[in-house]
Structure 1
């Protein structure tokens, strides 16, 4: 059972070279992803006069985030596992596939990567505002909360099935594509309602740089609950009762 595999980790893990390299990889992967995703929205707004809220803007956001995440996961997979998302890291922790201390390192790196990406965008665009996630008209915080749980559940479930499950076999090669696709699909499904974050780091950077924190808790609580549930359910029902050896923490 995953509860037996959950570990805090040793203090020296926080400064072990491998852990620091993994955190650095998460920093750069998250920076690449947020720069592409957030930047596409800013560019679309500039070209179409706030057109990111139109159907064409939603499709553009889905494509940019899907492509960006595919690359971000790919470049980090062999070093850190390519989490690029605190909710994915939390799901991996709940399933006993990463220690708490290593997970905290990943979180810090992911939040810094997102913040630096938004600062670079603001500077590179001549001071344009990075758009913080917000709720659409008629959408309550509880509507958004449920949406974020469901969408992030689908994302982290996909991560487990294609990247963490030791039985994944050759399908592991397709993990970055599958992860990028589910994020793009979820943006098409939920982007018109709450922006479809599924990633606290993606929400944190723009909110910090623009200093806009309206309903920000939704974009933390929803993804963490959804990611945690996906990690727990997949580990218990599909990995925990398997005869295969569990994936070593160092490998993800």
Structure 2
């Protein structure tokens, strides 16, 4: 059964719980992008073997995702517009609050990237682009599959009410899948899985090459995973949060 998407209303922006969630989401996204982009800048600065560099970036992203998702439980720890969209499709967040989250995430990513640029003395910020030989279609599919994997893990370990023995390990497992996906796809599509993570460096450098790929792919992957998991694997006997406001 297809879940009804809750529209929400503008008054949500003035509710204390929403304001608190936005502040937490901003902080978590800022710190995630700061560490994620910072790790890529370290690899560029010190050089060395490409495989070691990829592993370093993957581990840094895995660790910071696990911690930020865990500590940002007030907002849900999305730190990713694609995750927000996946939860929106599943009926777990209203359309209006999703828009606020997206703005929050993009601004946080931009500020984190600008701060890194300043702190490193103007070091070039690595931008997500497709590897040589990887076409647009391939890049989009890479990002769809990788983000689907991420969103499917979010649902299976954190959203599904029947998590069973996985309860409590959700943030760590989400971090693991982010790190694994970077190891698998980082050398091909850059394995963004997160439009905000790609947006910050692109804004700072003014380099928008292939940038649309990191919106189209992750958003499709996140929405598809949210729709499939919510409608085929979760069986609910109650109305989802926010939907009662629309009836």
Q: Do the two structures share a fold, i.e. TM-score over 0.5?
A: yes
Q: 1:248: how far off? A: 3.0
Assess if the C-alpha contact under 8 Å between 1:167 and 1:244 holds in 2. no
Contiguous gaps of at least 5 residues in structure 2: none
Assess if the C-alpha contact under 8 Å between 1:65 and 1:184 holds in 2. yes
Q: Matches of residues 127-166 of structure 1 in structure 2 within 5 Å?
A: 127-166=122-161
Q: For 1:243 and 1:236, how far apart are their aligned partners in 2?
A: 10
Cα deviation code 1:31-62 (max 9, x no counterpart):
111111110111121112xx4x8101110010
Q: Matches of residues 215-230 of structure 1 in structure 2 within 5 Å?
A: 215-230=210-225
Q: For 2:236 and 2:138, how far apart are their aligned partners in 1?
A: 40
Residue matched to 1:56: 52
Give the superposed CA RMSD. 1.5
Assess if the C-alpha contact under 8 Å between 1:165 and 1:247 holds in 2. no
Residue matched to 2:38: 39
Q: Matches of residues 158-237 of structure 1 in structure 2 within 5 Å?
A: 158-237=153-232
Worse overlay, 167-176 or 190-199: 167-176
Q: For 2:232 and 2:93, how far apart are their aligned partners in 1?
A: 19
SS at match of 1:57: helix
Residue matched to 2:17: 18
Q: 1:14: how far off? A: 2.0
Which residue of the other structure, out of 238, 241, 244, is the alignment partner of 1:248? 241
Contiguous gaps of at least 5 residues in structure 1: none
Residue matched to 1:120: 115
Identify the structure with the greater helix proportion.
Answer: 1
Aligned length: 243
Worse overlay, 198-207 or 23-32: 23-32
Cα deviation code 1:167-205 (max 9, x no counterpart):
224523101101000000000000000110000000000
Assess if the C-alpha contact under 8 Å between 1:10 and 1:101 holds in 2. yes
Assess if the C-alpha contact under 8 Å between 1:30 and 1:84 holds in 2. yes
TM-score (norm 2): 0.94
Worse overlay, 213-222 or 7-16: 7-16
SS at match of 2:127: coil
Assess if the C-alpha contact under 8 Å between 1:132 and 1:207 holds in 2. yes
Assess if the C-alpha contact under 8 Å between 1:166 and 1:245 holds in 2. no
Q: For 1:14 and 1:205, how far apart are their aligned partners in 2?
A: 24
Q: For 2:237 and 2:150, how far apart are their aligned partners in 1?
A: 24
